Structure formats: structure tokens, C-alpha cells
Amino acid sequence: MSYFDEEQIHREIIMDHVKNPRNIKKSNDDYKSTYLKNPSCGDELTLYVLYDEENDIVKDITYKVSGCSICCSSVSMMSELLIGKNKNQIKAIIDNFNNMVTGSDYNQELLGDAISLKGIVIVPPRIKCATLGYKAFVEVMSDKCE
């Protein structure tokens, strides 16, 4: 597969998540939430996480997001990746994602559709767009998920 083909496929995955964002639904009081803004781009995100502490599993994630395609698609991809996972699995995913967007070694097996964002490593200002969802997730979980 040529570099161009891979770029094209990644762009299609990103646009699919922008047009058909995953896991958009109503939250309730059982969800914990946080609001984050990325001032350099104007992205705004409210993330809702339903975490089952007893069984150590993220049961659900939903969100309200407005902003650029990188931010919106990344949050959608993240929701798919993290639902159903425990804290250790999620830590590995977030570490690998952060490594990918900062140009370090990462395990792409863990990242699902989120590998389509790897091209943004060449555009440093967009890294903040891609990581906003993950930052919000860590913030929501901060009293439970070190």
C-alpha cells in the first residue's frame, strides 16, 4: 500500500467519524462529566463517562463536541476504544495514543480507528485537537484512574 493510499484511507475513516459520530446518546446523573476547551482551535467538548467502580469497567461514554474534524473524529474513535475496558487497558490505550501523536513508538493494535490520526504528528498544533477527548477522559476519571 502506498503512502498516498494509506493517507486516503485514513482521511475517509476520519470523515466517517465526523459524519457519523459514534456513541451519541443521552446521559443521566450516573455519568460523570467534564467540560474542556481547546482555545487555539476553538474546539469544545463535554465528555460523559459511566464507570462501574466495583467491576472496574467503563460501561459507557457519550459527549457533546463542536470543533474541527480532528477533534470531533478523535472523540468518536476514543468512545469506541474505551467502552468496555478496565483502567489498565485504558491507560495502555491512552499512553499509546499520546505516543503516536507525539511521534514516539506505539502499538497500533491497541488503537483501532484512531491510527487514522497518525498523520497529524506532522502538524503539531493539531495534536491538541486530537488529544482533547483523552485529556477530558483522564480529568473525569482523575479521582479513580491514576
User: CB of 64: closest distance to Zn ion in angstroms?
Assistant: 15
Query: Residue 88 has which C-alpha cell?
Result: 489498565
Helix (H, G, I), strand (E, B) or coil at 84: coil
E strand segments, the chain:
32-38, 43-52, 57-66
68 binds Zn ion, rule: CB under 5 A: yes
> ∠ CA(138), CA(35), CA(111), 5° rounding?
40
Nearer to Zn ion, 37 or 144 (CB): 37
The whole-angstrom separation of Cα 61 and Cα 65 is: 13
Q: Which stretch binds Zn ion (CB under 5 A): 11-19, 70-78, 80-88, 115-123?
A: 70-78
The residue (of 51 and 134) whose beta carbon lies closer to Zn ion is 134
Position 101 contacts Zn ion (CB under 5 A): no
Contact string 11-50 vs Zn ion (x = CB under 5 A)? ------------------------------x-x-------
